[in-house]
Copies of this chain bind each other. A is one copy, B any other.
Amino acid sequence: MFEVINTSEYARTGLLKLRHGSIQTPAFMPVGTNGTVKSLTNDDLIETGAEIILGNTYHLMLRPGDELIKELGGLNNFINWSKPILTDSGGFQVWSLGDLVKITEEGVSFKSPYDGRNIFIRPEDSIQIQQNLDSDIIMVFDECTNYPATHEEAKSSMELSMRWAKRCKDFHTSDGKLFGIVQGGMYKDLRSSSLEKLNDIGFDGIAIGGLSVGESKEEKTEILEHLAPELPQNLPHYLMGVGKPEDIVEGVRYGIDMFDCVIPTRNARNGQLFTSEGVVNIRNAEHKKSTLPIDPNCKCKVCKNYSRAYLNHLDRTNEILGSMLSSYHNIFYYQSLMQDIRDSIKNNKFANFVKDFYNMRDLEMPKGPV
């Protein structure tokens, strides 16, 4: 199901075969929270090179409801997307509700923000919902450990997640792949212990959860560095909710194969555009008369056809087309970044790629493997 093709220290390229097609890794998965990657059509996504998107179980179970989506032939049919879909478990969103949620051994309860009804989700329910959505990749239901947390708190939270992971595995019956999630907060021993438990249960892929929750860059790198040699080589490695372009490059250095993040689309709607030389804030007055494209090195249709002056104007007038063009460019940028990463690993030039990546942005390259 997953084949590693080229490697460069921990970094690797691979091919992940799923029911709706194969995806090349390292891969970036645009986030389609409500069954749409915001401001983009499916044709747009395919043009950018996206081979898989993510759907949010929490949002979709509430609106329009997973049973309705099942009735209409699954999420692919409902949103008319023919390539693979990964769904998260809803655990992270429920955890984000904070005090509004009650967590027990059995599962979590919270009130729907839309109609106030009480909702109880057990790990089994999360899997059932994702099976109703008919996802290509199903994530286990987990508790995201708070940050900061004491060793005792992190251990107790991780062990609950591992018991839930086992229940998810026992319940899972669809032909979608099932991924486990490593928890354990900022404690290396807990991370190792979590990974060991997941390996014992047996999953189709290993995700790293509980990062990008407030920790420092150094703490995150320490966890990635610690886990890199322990991750099973034959399974895909997915770093959840990450990140900025530099976070992705760092992830790949530590053997990560899959990423997802709302940053390219959310930041696009706020005028933040990614380029080969860093971030352009299109709202800045300096772009008001600029005939330059967003990024002279970018081959996307927005950079071919539109000036910064026009994008600045669309942003200032709050026009939907501004969100559309900016989101397109940012997702294209992310997909091109992944393509460049894959090419450089394949051509045994990943070390150069990483060096150039930081040089072009005038950033110091963090120590680490290449």
Contacts and interface: CB of A to CB of B under 8 A. Distances in A.
A198 B39 CA distance: 46
Interface in A287-337: 288-289, 291, 305-307, 309-310, 312-314, 316-317, 319-321, 323-325
Interface in A24-43: 34-36, 38-41
Given A72-B309, A309-B64, A314 B36 contact: yes
Contacts of A325: 41
A313 B32 CA distance: 13
A80 interface: yes
A319 B289 contact: no
Contact of A321 (B39, B289, B291, B307): B39
A63 interface: yes
Contacts of A36: 314, 319, 321
Nearest to A319: B36
A308 to B, nearest CB: 11
A363 interface: no
A289 B64 CA distance: 9
Contacts of A324: 39, 41, 320, 324
B309 A68 contact: yes
A75 to B, nearest CB: 11
A360 interface: no
A340 interface: no
A71 interface: yes
B34 A313 contact: yes
A316 B289 CA distance: 38
A78 interface: yes
Contact of A305 (B71, B80, B305, B313): B80
A80 B310 contact: yes
A97 interface: no
Interface residues of A, number: 35
A310 B78 contact: yes
A99 B8 CA distance: 71
A288 B35 contact: no
B40 A307 contact: no
A149 interface: no
A9 to B, nearest CB: 40
A64 B288 contact: yes
A101 interface: no
A306 B72 CA distance: 12
A72 B320 contact: no
Contacts of A306: 80
A289 B68 contact: yes
24 contacts: A34-B313, A34-B317, A36-B314, A36-B319, A36-B321, A38-B319, A38-B321, A39-B321, A41-B321, A59-B317, A63-B313, A63-B316, A64-B309, A64-B312, A64-B313, A68-B309, A71-B289, A72-B289, A72-B307, A72-B309, A78-B309, A79-B310, A320-B323, A324-B324
Given A39-B321, A41-B325, A71-B289, 14 more contacts: A35-B310, A38-B321, A39-B320, A59-B317, A63-B316, A63-B317, A64-B288, A72-B289, A72-B309, A78-B307, A78-B310, A78-B313, A80-B310, A324-B324
Interface of A: 34-36, 38-41, 59, 63-64, 68, 71-72, 78-80, 288-289, 291, 305-307, 309-310, 312-314, 316-317, 319-321, 323-325
